[in-house]
Structure 1
Amino acid sequence: MKKKPVFIAFSTQKGGVGKTTFTVLTASYLHYACGYNLIVVDCDYPQFSINAMRQRDAQGVDCNPALQELAATQFSELQKPTYTILCATAEVAVDTVREYLDTHDSDTDFVFFDLPGTINNDGVLTTLSGMDYIFTPISADRISLESTLSFSAIIKEAITDNTDTANKGIYLFWNMVDGREKTPLYAMYEKVIAELGLPVLKTAVPNTTRYKKEVMEEGTTLFRSTIFPASRTLLRGSRLKELVEEILSIVKPEAYGRKE
Structure 2
Amino acid sequence: MRNKIYIATKTAATTPDEFWRQLETSLHLLRTDYLDLYQFHCVNQCYRPEDGTGMYECMLKAKEQGMIRHIGVTAHKIGIAEECVASGLYETMQFPFSYLSSVQELHLVEACSRQNMGFIAMKGLAGGLIHNSKAAMAYMTQFDNVLPIWGIQKISELEEWLSYMENTPSIDEEISAYIEKEKLELTGDFCRGCGYCMPCPAGIMINQCARMSLMLRRAPSAGWLTPQMQEEMKKIENCLECGQCMKKCPYELNTPELLKKNYEDYKKVLAGEVSVN
TM-score, normalised by the number of residues in structure 1:
0.34
Q: Which has the higher contact order (CA 8 A, sep 6+)?
A: 1
Name the larger-Rg structure: 2
- What TM-score results when the alignment is normalised by the length of structure 2? 0.33
